[in-house]
Structure 1
Amino acid sequence: MTTFDFQQAFSRNIGWVTRDEQETLRGKRIAIAGLGGVGGSHLLALTRLGIGAFHIADFDKFELANFNRQAGATVSHLGQAKTDVMADMALDINPGLKLTKFPQGVTKDNLADFFSGVDLYVDSLDFFAFEAREMVFAYCADRQIPAVTAAPLGMGTALLNFLPGKMTFEQYFQLNGKAQTDKILHFLLGLSPAMVQRGYLVDPAAVDLLNHRGPSTPIACELCAGVVATQALKILLGRGKILAAPWGLHFDAYCNRLVKTWRPGGNRNPLQRLGITLAKRQFVRMNKASNESI
């Protein structure tokens, strides 16, 4: 049996990072909330990058509906806790990982422990988990913890970084105090100002935001993991230019497009306000048509 050796296991990273940088990454701790569509892929990509410690949180178990996109979703893992499955998979890559599990998800009661000693937060919460997301991003802003989110949209990914001293999550998205429907639209349009993905949606009936349902692809989730791991490398090593909100990136592999987005003022921006208004009108029409067909 081959004895695990960190330097050998991650030696092929050298060249894109120096040996000293690899050791720096080994000493970093990343918190990941949510281990579903993107979270599991984030954990595995960051583990292979050589990150040495993680706090991972999720209260859910794997089910059949997860199979099209989630890294830990297999027949052998059905009904198992996502934190347990993904921890085992990460430890199978690097047995020396320092890994703390939060199987109840992120809550007000464990928030301080979840972020204790953390160098970076990677957001992987369910799209509709607004209360938890607002809570963790506010904590990051207060404690000067950099935070990265990459949304899986269609067959692409939309990236936003929230860095200490820059625009915060709430300043950008403006979710506080809004009704659930408004939060959905503000979050979607804020994540994806360019909305590149909407042009190839073949079955609009599959999108049911009111009932928290929408289509997904494994393509988008894996693209998210690559983009997030790259941002983590740059932030943790202080290398290269890092875009911070209100700047963002949206890459769509289906459309062959890369869009650099800029929304000064976030969702207060006139373009954003117009987009949200139009989206809300469409949302109301779709919901009315759906109710009339019942």
Structure 2
Amino acid sequence: MSTVSRSGEGPASAAAATPGFTFDYDRAFSRNIGWVTKDEQQRLRRARVAVAGLGGVGGAHVLALSRLGIANFHIADFDEFDVHNMNRQVAAFMSTMGRPKIDVVAEMARDINPESQIRLFPQGVNDDNLDEFLKGVDVYVDSLDFFVLETRRKVFKRCRELGIPAMTAAPLGMGAAFLYFSPTGMSFEEYFKVDGRPSEDQYARFIAGLSPAMLNRRYLVVPEAVNFKERRGPSTGMACELCAGVMGTNVLKLLLQRGPLRAAPWGLHFDAYRGILKQTWRPGGNAHPLQRLLVSLIKPVLRGR
């Protein structure tokens, strides 16, 4: 197999192998066997996953899925690494500062598996390339920046129209909140109910829907670090790695049809700091009475009160 260049128009070499070592797919992922069968490993090898956004969680998703043995990706991001990424982004090193995130993550994935077929979308996901980005993929892994809600809505809507399962994992505090949207279940819009709402209300509803349990709120020690006007908030590397583990496991279950996946309005939130795991069920999504109350409590926070 050949890899795909940044433009998506030709081969690009993976990192040079250490002398004396030759890549062999079966041997490289042999330690997965036991948790998956040999036949299942080959199914993972053939699967194709789309990942939009390669920042805090996106890069970790790609590398975790690569180590699972998935070899086909569509990845999208237009940003470059900066020093403020260092605390949480798996591909952020002093040696990668100023480089496009998409190039660095692709190189790391190819260094894990030189057989990887990776199609790159260096302009990010937009109206012009969305269908191409989702073409032929088995599952969409959402890792777009929190504040690009309009783009996220379009991607989830198109996934549903194309019959593509879509998953998102939010790094919250020192934990991970996970949602799965089945093409035949409750849609992103039906769950979050943001259509036609003012911007502040949309973000309040998005936060409430991502984390109905709000397990992370109790240990936020510097509330002023959350500033929605400046589009910034605190984050941890542990949360990003937890998201990658939760996401990788659910992608595996989906691709191999290994047991049930609870789709929205079900949600999952694990907080390592508090040692709590909660499964949430909000029939009607943000129309649920508990969610309406939560949205009303979140709005003042967004206003800085």
**TM-score of the two chains, using structure 2 as the length reference:** 0.92
Work out the CA distance in 1 between the residues paired with 2:224 and 2:262. 35
Segments of 5+ residues of structure 1 without an aligned counterpart are 288-294
- CA displacement, residues 99-132 of structure 1 (integer Å, 9 cap, x when unaligned): 0000000011001110011000000000011111
Structure 2 counterpart SS, 1:221: helix
CA positional deviation for 1:3:
1.4
Work out the CA distance in 2 between the residues paired with 1:210 and 1:170. 24
- CA displacement, residues 65-118 of structure 1 (integer Å, 9 cap, x when unaligned): 100000111011010001100000000000000100000000110011100110
Work out the CA distance in 2 between the residues paired with 1:243 and 1:176. 24
2:215 counterpart letter in structure 1: V
Judged with a 3 Å threshold, the aligned counterparts in structure 2 of structure 1 residues 49 and 39 are, in CA distance, closer, same or farther, namely same
Work out the CA distance in 1 between the residues paired with 2:167 and 2:182. 8
- CA contact under 8 A between 1:194 and 1:259: conserved in structure 2? yes
Work out the CA distance in 2 between the residues paired with 1:153 and 1:48. 24
Aligned to 1:96: 115
Work out the CA distance in 1 between the residues paired with 2:263 and 2:131. 25
Aligned to 2:6: none
Matches within 5 A, 1:18-57: 18-57=37-76
- CA contact under 8 A between 1:184 and 1:209: conserved in structure 2? no
Work out the CA distance in 2 between the residues paired with 1:47 and 1:77. 20
Matches within 5 A, 1:56-205: 56-205=75-224
Aligned to 1:226: 245
CA positional deviation for 1:210:
2.4
CA positional deviation for 1:282:
4.5
Structure 1 counterpart SS, 2:216: helix
Judged with a 3 Å threshold, the aligned counterparts in structure 2 of structure 1 residues 10 and 279 are, in CA distance, closer, same or farther, namely same
Work out the CA distance in 2 between the residues paired with 1:131 and 1:281. 22
Work out the CA distance in 2 between the residues paired with 1:100 and 1:207. 35
CA positional deviation for 1:16:
0.1
Q: 1:246 and 2:265 equivalent?
A: yes
Aligned to 2:10: none
Work out the CA distance in 2 between the residues paired with 1:185 and 1:216. 18
1:61 counterpart letter in structure 2: E
Work out the CA distance in 2 between the residues paired with 1:210 and 1:181. 10
CA positional deviation for 1:241:
1.7
Aligned to 2:27: 8
2:115 counterpart letter in structure 1: G
- CA contact under 8 A between 1:181 and 1:210: conserved in structure 2? no
Work out the CA distance in 2 between the residues paired with 1:185 and 1:106. 24
CA RMSD of aligned residues (A): 0.9
Q: 1:236 and 2:255 equivalent?
A: yes
CA positional deviation for 1:275:
1.2
- CA contact under 8 A between 1:160 and 1:248: conserved in structure 2? yes
Work out the CA distance in 2 between the residues paired with 1:11 and 1:116. 30
- CA contact under 8 A between 2:178 and 2:210: conserved in structure 1? yes
CA positional deviation for 1:19:
0.2
| 4+ residue segments displaced more than 4 Å | none
1:209 counterpart letter in structure 2: F
1:100 counterpart letter in structure 2: R
Work out the CA distance in 1 between the residues paired with 2:301 and 2:258. 42
Residue in structure 1 matching 2:232, options 210, 213, 234 = 213
CA positional deviation for 1:270:
1.1
The structure carrying a bigger helix percent of its residues is 1
- CA contact under 8 A between 1:32 and 1:124: conserved in structure 2? yes
Segments of 5+ residues of structure 2 without an aligned counterpart are 1-19
**TM-score of the two chains, using structure 1 as the length reference:** 0.96
- CA contact under 8 A between 1:160 and 1:247: conserved in structure 2? yes
Aligned to 1:291: none
Work out the CA distance in 2 between the residues paired with 1:4 and 1:93. 9
Judged with a 3 Å threshold, the aligned counterparts in structure 2 of structure 1 residues 164 and 77 are, in CA distance, closer, same or farther, namely same
2:84 counterpart letter in structure 1: A
- The range that moved more, 37-46 or 275-284, is 275-284
